[in-house]
Structure 1
Amino acid sequence: MSRTSPHIHLPSAEVSRRGLLKTAGGLTAALALGASASATTADAAPAAFTHPGMLHNAGDINRAKVRVAAGDDPWLSGWNRLTANSHSASTWTPNPQATIIRGGTGENYGILYNDIAAAYQNALRWKVGGTEANAECAAKILNAWSSTLATVTGNADRFLAAGIYGWEFANAAELMRDYDGFDLAAFQDMMVSVFYPLNDSFLTSHNDACITNYWANWDLCTMASVMAIGILCDDGAKYDQAVSYFKTGAGNGSIQHAVPFLYANVDGYDLGQWQEFGRDQGHTVMGMGQMGAICEMAWNQGDDLYSYDSRRFMKAAQYVAKYNLGDDVPFTTYTWGSGQTCTQQSQTVIGSGSRGQVRPVWAMLHFHYNRRLYLDDKYISAMYYSVAPEGGGGDYGSTSGGYDQLGFGTLMYAK
């Protein structure tokens, strides 16, 4: 089976996508596994990682290249958003820092997220458009940071910085890993020595707070960084750490904690309440992007987390999209323990703040569930088409929220 062909959909069981890919006579094997397949079995990391194999695989890149060259929409519209973004210019000058601070005195993390956006966007322009100047620029940015950055610090927000910018940075590097002018080894060393220790510390101890104290996105960005570093460095243990946490982790980023309540057949669709839904919609939609990134990276390594636990994530994405399109959704009071003593708090109503906020997270989800799996994703689809073509960092404001996802999903995922 080709890694870019439609996935075999077995609604009665969760079957490892990699297992189907590696098993001779995949369809026969899949049907034989049937109801005996376990949804809780953690897969081992692949014997050999696929590269490029994070947010984009070789098929994604080739499709975008061919379609843009042919002038086909919506790929061309997505490409035009990319080339119009100032971060994608090959003249971008990096500004590497030895210390990045997020939270507290002396914050400077905006420098980092702008340079990451520039590295990623230049890498995309090189991969899709073939322009050497963009490759040189992306490599220059990545090399500058890997030879300079020594510390990510600040208050508790340092864990957010290490998580969000960790997985994004690794994705830019993954696109550039076969470029001669890029020092992959130095970059891998920076990711392992600067970002991963903070990632691991947070998933292990949660800053010495109650396990439920931190919102789902704190875990999710951390899990995404651990997974991305594992792929970038061909490190199976790190990759497995992220996959295992997604399935059974104790914090709010694991799938059953991130989607604590399910609702069957609401106007004909199964929905799932997101953990941050009583907080606000900006952070809730951010969660669609963070968990989506984890699922897409795993998919490109042969693991189907998108469908794990009876497609629990899809139910949440449908729920979030439905509400942010202006429709009503059910809500169950959410109660959790906070601080170091697990002081109980509750949210009794939906957090309507930032309702309808645009973030470039929906293309990835729509083109997976609807075009790979041929599922009816009514609300995800409507949300995607309401915001397409998707841009990226620099297209959604200058504050950090506009850089919490790499974007350009229309260009890279449209099928």
Structure 2
Amino acid sequence: MMPNSPVPPVPSHRRGRSRFALLATVAALLAGALAWPATERAEAAPATFAHPGVTVSRGQLDFARQQVNAGAQPWKSAYDQMMSSRYASLTRTAKPRAVVECGSYSNPNNGCTDEREDAIAAYTQALAWYVTRDARHAKKAIELMDAWSATVRDHTNSNAPLQTGWAGSSWPKAAEIIKHTYDGGWPNSGRFATMLRGVYLPEVINGSNSNGNWELSMMEAAVGISVFLEDKASYDKAMARFRTRTAAFVYLSSDGALPKTVPSQNLDTRQKIVNYWQGQSTFVTGLTQETCRDLTHTGYGLSAISHIAETSRIQGQDLYGTDVGERLRHALGFQARYQLGEAPPSWLCGGSLHLGLGPVTEVGHNALHNRLGHGMTNTERLTAQNRPAGSNNLFVAWETLTHGDNPG
């Protein structure tokens, strides 16, 4: 079994931020002291929801806008990358469907790609509006959201829960920015809210017993939708399920000889757990339930963890100082070392890994390294190597722009 590596000190080139890091660390320690295991306390919703408050806050948006307008890097190149993408086109035409049918690996693909990409486009247009204050982008975001809210009624086939989670993660990010920063009006915002409540939320709120990235993506959608709807009961339910699933997705040595499990999955023997963990029988800190499947699906799960943690922080409950942050920190570092090219040992996935982690490190790196001062050498190297981080064309988009070294 591989020993856990000690956390290195903050590098000298980061010490200029020492006061910021110290204050953030104290806050994190207090948050950790007040944190709850998911099985002991379910309440997480704030007394009053913060808006815009899904993954990115007004302060983070303001910082990104200032950096872009000043021509500062890496934000300017990240913005240019976003604006040159198909998602930022002002001539984009929505392709809504009443029924989106998605089978395994999107086969059949009846509206699956169209829905995900229109949702990403709405978020892209919302970001473009915020940075430029060009109302054409806000109107395009509204046009895309209105087209779908007037049309979509259901998601079907085997991938319906995951598809709903992916699209449902992007829609509220776009809607939060438009509803709470654009003063040009959005007459159909109520219909959009009805769509989220009636079409998306019921499909994701009860989770999934499939691979962990499914439920984590579904909870990301549920949390974001709950913020937009200001639905405290759904927010609490989604956050409790998220805490349980995160603990079952990323292993820490403090978990014991075997990883934690989700009770409803009835993984009550060692062999069942090993099978669920893709045949991996040696458990080390930072390993995930899908590492031995591939790093792409692992990245989906880690991205959702970071997005939910970021939304929770914006809403007043900082989970980065709890086991959620510890699991995310170690998981990012563990996957990053192999994504960077280190050869896996024979005990890990039979000595062979399928790479492709994706543009998923910016949010966690910013929160855990920049704000809390954790040494994250591998994650930092991979984050810098991938800048500017683009989109995975599913539910991740433009996170160097929104979260890269962003004090928020």
Per the TM superposition, whether the score is higher than 0.5 is yes
Match of 1:150 in 2: 153
Amino acid paired to 1:323: Y
CA RMSD, 1 decimal: 2.5
Separation in 2, partners of 1:383, 1:71: 24
The corresponding residue for 1:410 is: 400
Instruction: State the SS of the aligned residue for 2:24.
Output: coil
* 2:282 matches 1:281: no
Unaligned runs of 5+ in 2: 1-19, 256-283
Question: d(CA) in 1 for partners of 2:395 and 2:95?
Answer: 20
What is the SS of the residue equivalent to 1:9?
helix
User: SS of the residue aligned with 1:302?
Assistant: coil
Pick closer, same or farther for the CA change 1:412–1:38 going to 2, 3 Å. closer
1:245-256 correspondence to structure 2 within 5 Å: 245-248=241-244, 254-256=245-247
Counterpart contact for 1:262–1:273, Cα < 8 Å: no
Q: Give the alignment of 1:373-412 within 5 angstroms.
A: 373-392=372-391, 402-412=392-402
Letter in 2 for 1:368: A
1:174-207, Cα deviation, whole Å (9 max, x unpaired): 1111334422211111011001111134x2xx4x
In structure 2, C-alpha distance between the alignment counterparts of 1:51 and 1:234, rounded to whole Å: 10
Deviations 1:345-382 (A, max 9, x none): xxx536512x1x26221111211111111211111111
Of 118, 131, 136, the match for 2:134: 131
Structure 1: tracts of 5 or more residues without a match: 18-33, 249-253, 265-269, 334-347, 393-401
Is the 8 Å Cα contact of residues 290 and 298 (structure 2) preserved in structure 1? yes
1:273 partner SS:
coil
Q: Contact (CA 8 Å) 1:44, 1:240: kept in 2 or not?
A: yes
Bigger mean CA deviation after superposition, 97-106 or 370-379: 97-106
Does the 8 Å contact 1:101/1:158 carry over to 2? yes
Distance (Å, rounded) in 2 between the aligned partners of 1:274 and 1:10? 28
- Asked if residue 359 in structure 1 is aligned to residue 364 in structure 2, the reply is no
Partners in 1 of 2:178 and 2:251 — Cα distance?
38
Displacement of 1:42 in angstroms is 4.0
The alpha-carbon distance between structure 1 residues 243 and 358, as it changes in their structure 2 partners (threshold 3 A), is closer
TM-score (norm 2): 0.79
| Paired residue secondary structure (1:91) | coil
State the partner residue of 1:397.
Answer: none
Q: Report the identity percentage.
A: 28
CA contact 1:123–1:135 (8 Å) conserved in 2: yes
Task: Judging by fraction of residues, say which structure has more helix.
Answer: 2
> Matches of 2:68 and 2:162 in 1, distance apart?
35
Q: Flag the structure with more relative contact order, 1 or 2, with Cα contacts below 8 A and sequence separation at least 6.
A: 2
**Residue deviations 1:294-319, cap 9 Å, x none?**
11111111122233227122111111
Give 1:231's aligned amino acid: V
Q: Structure 2 matches for 1:1-400, cutoff 5 A?
A: 8-9=24-25, 15-16=30-31, 38-39=36-37, 41-103=41-103, 105=108, 107-154=110-157, 156-178=158-180, 179=182, 180-182=184-186, 183-201=188-206, 203=207, 206=208, 211=209, 214-248=210-244, 254-262=245-253, 271-309=285-323, 311-328=326-343, 349=350, 352-353=353-354, 355=355, 357=356, 359-392=358-391
Tell me, in whole angstroms, the C-alpha distance in 2 between the residues paired with 1:327 and 1:106: 36
C-alpha deviation, 1:95, in angstroms: 1.5
Decide whether aligned partners of structure 1 residues 146 and 278 sit closer, same or farther in structure 2, where only a CA change above 3 A counts.
same
Residue 408 of structure 1 aligns with an amino acid whose one-letter code is: W
Report the CA distance shift for 1:374/1:413 in structure 2 as closer, same or farther (over 3 A): same
